[in-house]
């Protein structure tokens, strides 16, 4: 069985007047994240990991930030589109592991709903999705609470044909 691995990263700074979306769910907070779409750093990092595993480029190539059709779009919609691109390439998602780095808000209590929403968008069992929350221990722009970053690793495999 042909298994492939991809890695992704994304970061966005905070902005007032926007909802905060992480892992496909709305997280209660005073600020959202700047982004052409909904700014969901977790799903954006995962999208890049999946596209990398499939050698299909990156999120900006498929969903350019100068294209108005992606303005404000739910990143779960983008993720579902990437899953379809993988299927067209003969690949299927096996697993996803995401780490969200944020000083605030604390999101540990939201991990379950994030895993469920991400698994649903991927079309996999929730057991195939891991999401973890970390801080940057007060260091750098993340530590000062200026935004949120996420890293993701995804594995895909050659889907059965015939």
pLDDT tens-place string over residues 129-155: 999 999 999 999 999 999 999 999 999
The three-point CA angle 39-16-22 to 5° equals: 30
Report the pLDDT averaged over residues 34-62: 96
Given a cut of 70, is residue 93 above it in pLDDT? yes
* CATH number assigned to the domain with residue range 3-158, chosen from the 4 options 2.60.40.3620, 1.10.443.10, 3.40.50.620, 3.30.1330.50: 3.30.1330.50
Q: What is the pTM of this model?
A: 0.96
How many angstroms separate the first and last alpha carbons of the chain? 15
What confidence score (pLDDT) does residue 161 get? 65
DSSP E strand stretches across 53-90: none
């Amino acid at each position: 069985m042909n298994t492939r691995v991809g890695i992704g990263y994304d970061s966005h700074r905070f902005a007032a007047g926007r909802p905060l979306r992480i892992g496909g769910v709305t997280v209660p907070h005073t600020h959202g994240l700047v982004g052409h779409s909904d700014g969901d750093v977790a799903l954006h990092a995962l999208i890049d990991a999946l596209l990398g595993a499939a050698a299909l480029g990156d999120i900006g190539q498929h969903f350019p930030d100068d294209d108005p059709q992606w303005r404000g779009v739910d990143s779960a919609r983008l993720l579902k589109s990437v899953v379809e691109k993988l299927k067209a390439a003969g690949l299927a998602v096996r697993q996803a592991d995401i780490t969200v780095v944020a000083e605030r808000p604390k999101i540990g209590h939201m991990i379950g709903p994030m895993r469920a929403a991400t698994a649903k968008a991927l079309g996999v069992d929730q057991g195939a999705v891991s999401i973890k929350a970390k801080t940057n221990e007060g260091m750098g722009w993340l530590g000062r609470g200026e935004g949120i970053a996420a890293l993701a690793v995804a594995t895909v495999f050659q889907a059965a044909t015939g």
